[in-house]
Structure 1
């Protein structure tokens, strides 16, 4: 699946629900910070306005001059915070330094109204400050003069207070957000529980199990999905039954005439005296047997692709039983057929299909292994299940041929009788049991075919 399709439905829902929540939380924090800054700045403005009026009262005009008297109380106002002292400046006319800090910037307003404080921001020694400026008129009508008193305060405290306010506001919101996220996750998990149960039902089913799925307590949306799946299962069951009926009919219609043809040819061979006729009848007999074998293999392959009825069985006992059944033919071919391995190994499997797989492997070994060879069946327990193997000490196959042995209708030898489907059937049966089939060459010669099976009982 792609990146978007690779996310589960649960994760997609979590993303769609929690990411907007995170964005809103961050946006709310930014707005809260701006509001806190505005409120703190308003408080600073009020404090600065009071301070500048208090300082302005300490400047007393005397005729055309000024008497500046800063008592201890005024100094306490200016130095109330040693870490963040107020900056002040007295100038007359405005901008012409008289007392205080010379580096306070002047207000942007060209002509501030006398008696009205003007608030603005400015840089003082590289730091942002909030500054208030108050102009006062003094002198007489013949010589009017203006006095400007300025007081500035750093915005460091403003930012610190605003940050503390925002932190105090967002910390509980974050805790509520985490709690909400847990509730959302629990709600999503509970809401998707019917789909999880449906998935478990489908995964736990055998390949040939096509009974309708029950979902009586599921939501309506899941009910619709279950109904669709049940409809599909019903349709598949119908088609499988049709195919099985066709296979049974085909088996009967093909095997019966072929068996009759083989019997008639054998009778004709017994009665024939002409060598030419005997030779032709032998070719017909070989072709009829090969056709019968091909029909059997094709029907077996089709059936293995449709169903596998897994039931508890002893794999070792099954292998010994099949070996006994093929022993007479092995003896007739001058070969040693035997069993080695664990005395008992229980697993869940289709006995008929495993018997067919073993029969194909033994038949191949008997066909393509010379007289005097040994054929051995082995059953062993592995970490992942069981291994069922048939090995011989015949000529084996070349590395190039090993890559093609499981292909349908591929034959490694031109000897009569084979049809190139035996090993393809073996692999299909192994895969129907949750495993696979592999083939490997033995040293110094020989061949080993293994079926890896799982689902131990």
Structure 2
């Protein structure tokens, strides 16, 4: 069952450091808005109190009546903002409208103290307003009367002032938050740099590079991790060394008796004239040769899995030399072996392992290609990569068989001699050089196996060389 994807350590740190900052910023904005509303309400309350006292001074009792001295200029001041108009009302007795621009609701607190303004909230035409009420006494002593002056104002100004205050406060806080986020990101990146360097060291080393990892100036937690990894690498290196030592010792111990068995079987074949005995000796000789070949391939596979020692070499020259070495066997098999490609192509590689890979490719082609066929070794460079191709026009493989070509101990033919390790060794050597091995079918028939290896620098355009004549020692045309 696949595990759900998890966040990286960097993203988790960013999340847990920046998320609380965002929450605190939002909470601080809400708190600032509440505080701004409170202070704006205090300002409105003070303004309303001054307005109701000023308006009450314009209503003067005269005997048992009232003299309203409310000039038009004062009324214009109260009603100058259509969007936030100040409402006022004069009533006597309280609640009975005498004068004003709007009917205002009465406070629910009951009778008010004379001369002391009362502030309260009420709904006017479906909108909340802040209202102040002030009661005044007038009239004769034997017939006292009460005058109530009310002034109301909506919360539009209060909310606008609060929003402006909060915006003025949060804008610099937002800039500081962005700066703090950048500093947090930079700090996390710097703090995780040792882990990044450690990851790079592990990614860029080859599979069998089991040497200890070097530590740099880093926190103690990273040192502890490196020491744990080095301990694991040491155990793995010890195990791999013991395995390779056993394989090398076994291969060397088997090669000597197998060589003696092959020699004795050949001598016995030459000294006897009994056909049944010769047939049995031939089977023994074939089995001994196949075992010797298998031991050689196992030893080669063990060596190919070791760390390669890269150095600059001429791949084209090496391919020509290997082709020359296999020319006599190609002639005896009746196969036309040739070389095409560049004169020089420099790469970083291990000469012994690349020579073994080319030998396995040519040997594999010679084993399973029929007489009269053509076998070509081709080398060229393109896109900063070196290409080594061994192709033939033999029977080839089916599409289903192509998927198994590089598997160990897999064979597409029952012909004696092979052991199914040659192409697996080729692929292993290609991987050790940072390249890859590919196999494709030729049209109309045949097989093409290609090694793609990293190249040193840029090379000149490949110069295609025609197949050499039959008289050339490199490209002999064997006669049937």
Global fold match (TM > 0.5): yes
Match of 2:158 in 1: 158
Residue 65 of structure 1 and its aligned partner are, at CA, apart by 3.3
In the other structure, the counterpart of 1:253 is 253
The residue that corresponds to 2:469 in the other structure is: none
- Measured on the aligned residues, the alpha-carbon RMSD in Å equals 2.3
Partner of 1:200: 200
Provide the C-alpha distance between the structure 2 equivalents of 1:230 and 1:409, rounded to a whole number of angstroms: 34
Counterpart of 2:188 in structure 1 is 188
Looking at structure 1, the residues matched to 295 and 117 of structure 2 have their Cα atoms a distance apart, in angstroms, of 108
Contact 2:206 2:307 in 1 (8 A): no
Q: Is the 8 A contact 1:215 1:226 kept in 2?
A: yes
Quote the Cα distance in structure 2 between the aligned partners of 1:321 and 1:196.
44
User: Take 2:316 and 2:322, find their aligned partners in 1: how far apart are those partners?
Assistant: 10
Q: Is 1:338–1:375's contact at 8 Å kept on the other side of the alignment?
A: yes
Distance 2:349 2:107 in 1: 93
2:206·2:432 contact (CA, 8 Å) conserved in 1?
A: no
Give the CA deviation at 1:379: 1.6
**Equivalence for 1:390:** 390
State how far apart, in whole Å, the 2-side matches of 1:420 and 1:233 are. Answer: 31
Secondary structure at the aligned position of 2:326 is classed as: helix
| CA distance in structure 2 between the partners assigned to 1:84 and 1:326 by the alignment | 103
Number of equivalences: 456
- CA distance in 1 between partners of 2:399 and 2:120 (Å): 89
User: In the aligned structure 1, how far is the partner of 2:6 from the partner of 2:147?
Assistant: 74
* Structure 1 unaligned blocks of 5 or more: none
| Partner SS state of residue 131, structure 2 | strand
Q: CA deviation at 1:281?
A: 0.8
Query: Which ranges of structure 2 fall in alignment gaps of 5 or more residues?
Result: 458-480
Please give the secondary structure, in 2, of the residue aligned with 1:416: coil
Q: What is the TM-score with the length of structure 2 in the denominator?
A: 0.88
**1:205–1:126 Cα change, 3 Å:** same
3-state SS in 1 of match to 2:413: coil
- Aligned equivalents of 2:215, 2:403: Cα separation in 1: 47
What does residue 5 of structure 1 align with?
6
Equivalence map 1:346-385=2 (5 Å): 346-383=346-383, 385=385
Identify the range of structure 1 (142-151 vs 352-361) with the bigger mean alpha-carbon deviation: 142-151
3-state SS, counterpart of residue 5 of structure 1: coil
1:208–1:309 contact (8 Å) kept in structure 2: no
Map residues 57-72 of structure 1 onto 2, 5 A cutoff: 57-72=57-72
Take 2:406 and 2:216, find their aligned partners in 1: how far apart are those partners?
A: 46
Give secondary structure in 1 for the equivalent of 2:102: coil
2:305 counterpart residue number: 305
Distance in 2 (CA, whole Å) between partners of 1:6 and 1:292 is: 53
Does structure 2 conserve the Cα–Cα contact (< 8 Å) formed by 1:54 and 1:74? no
* Rounded Cα–Cα distance in structure 1 between residues aligned with 2:99 and 2:245: 113
Partner Cα separation in structure 2 for residue 117 and residue 220 of structure 1: 70
Question: How far apart are 1:134 and its partner, in Å?
Answer: 2.0
Q: Is the 8 A contact 2:87 2:102 kept in 1?
A: no
